[in-house]
Amino acid sequence: MILVENLTKAFGSKTAVNHISFQVERGEVLGFLGPNGAGKSTTMRMITGYLPPSAGRAVVCGFDVAEQPIEAKRRIGYLPESAPSYPEMTVGAFLGFAAEMRGLHGAAKKKAVQGAIDTCVLESVVHQTIDTLSKGFRHRTCLAQALIHDPEVLIMDEPTDGLDPNQKHEVRTLIRRMGERKAIVFSTHILEEVEAACTRAIIIDRGVIVANGTPEELKSRSERAGAVLMTVRAPSVATVTDTLGRLPQVSRTEILAEDANRCVVRVYPDKSRVDGAFAAQVADATATRWTIEQLTTEEGRLDDVFRSLTRPDTAREAAA
């Protein structure tokens, strides 16, 4: 449904997006991750036809966005960053305008507006002007605009930005539900959002894709993925870490807490050497000498992966 090939955008001498390629099929929800200024918005603006690419192409439902922009745009619903709308209009009038721009008139327009109002829970503010609304309502109004023509492709730039936790949850649920029938791309810097709503995630840094996979795949790249966290009853902590550290499949150990006769350690696997059940091997080696009170295997964390793959703004400035 969405095909992006070598998409590149340069502003003067600065390359914001550098040869990005990916694909999104119907039924997929793609999370777009990256630090601020990584090129997320620029990529989305090229897919939606707002910015012409410097090189490469974006194809939506078989229509090249640069060559057949009208056909492509018809099939896209777009929520731009910071959810702009016309402040002097009422919510109803604004959605009516969006519907007409999508070629919906008369009964079809009425039905589309009502549908968007229902989906985004805007019934209570239909007759209010947008500038009197709270940020959450304003955001949902713009989201409603993106959904009004029931597009096959939905592009959303930070759809949960500025919403309270309840509203965030609602939007995520909505995204997941719509994702079953559409191809959705949304950007965020909230990592839990990716786990909650995405079938796949792309991490982008300085205009380049640095990771592309399901949230589980990405998490398994974390150093902590598969690590064993245990509480051991032992008089001397040093002997515990010493013993575990000598196992060939352990890369390192970390003491999280300790008191007189027990400690909490995290044991990291050396992924190139692990063979079989790492947790069981660690537990066997420990249990011969001490008592294990608690043991869990960790899943890995997306933000570890995120941080290891991207550089913060400050580091970039230092490098520049």
Partner 1 sequence: MKGAWSNVWTIVKRELVGYFDSPVAYVFIVIYLLLAGFFTFTFGSFFDRGEASLTAFFMWMPWLLLFLVPALGMRLWSEERRSGTIELLLTFPVTPWQAILGKFLASWIFIAIAMALTFPVWITVNWLGDPDNGVILAGYIGSWLLAGAYLAVSCLTSAITRNQVVSFILSVVICLGLVVVGFAPVTDLLARWAAPWLVEAVAGFSVLTHFDGFQKGVIDSRDFVFFASVIGFALFVTGVILRGHRAG
Write out the residues near partner 1 by the rule CB under 8 A: 9-12, 16, 45, 48-52, 54, 69-71, 73-74, 76, 78, 80-82, 84-89, 93, 97-98, 100-103, 129, 142, 145
Kindly list the distances between the CA atom of residue 252 and the CA atoms of 104, 108, 236, in Å, as whole numbers in the listed order.
62, 63, 18
Q: How far is the CB of 89 from partner 1 (least distance, A)?
A: 7
Helix (H, G, I), strand (E, B) or coil at 266: strand
Helix (H, G, I), strand (E, B) or coil at 68: coil
Starting at the edge strand found earlier in the chain, the sheet holding 2-11 runs 14-24, 2-11, 55-60, 63-64
Q: How far is the CB of 81 from partner 1 (least distance, A)?
A: 8
Half-sphere exposure of 260 (CA within 13 A, CB side): 0
Record the tokens describing residue 287, joined without a space: 């249990």
Q: How far is the CB of 63 from partner 1 (least distance, A)?
A: 11
**Nearest to partner 1 of 87, 245 (CB atom):** 87
Q: How far is the CB of 195 from partner 1 (least distance, A)?
A: 29
Record the tokens describing residue 306, joined without a space: 């995120």
Record the tokens describing residue 217, joined without a space: 């795949």
**Nearest to partner 1 of 77, 226 (CB atom):** 77
Are the C-beta atoms of 104 and 112 separated by less than 8 Å? yes
Q: How far is the CB of 70 from partner 1 (least distance, A)?
A: 5
Give the Cα separation of 210 and 147 in Å (integer).
30
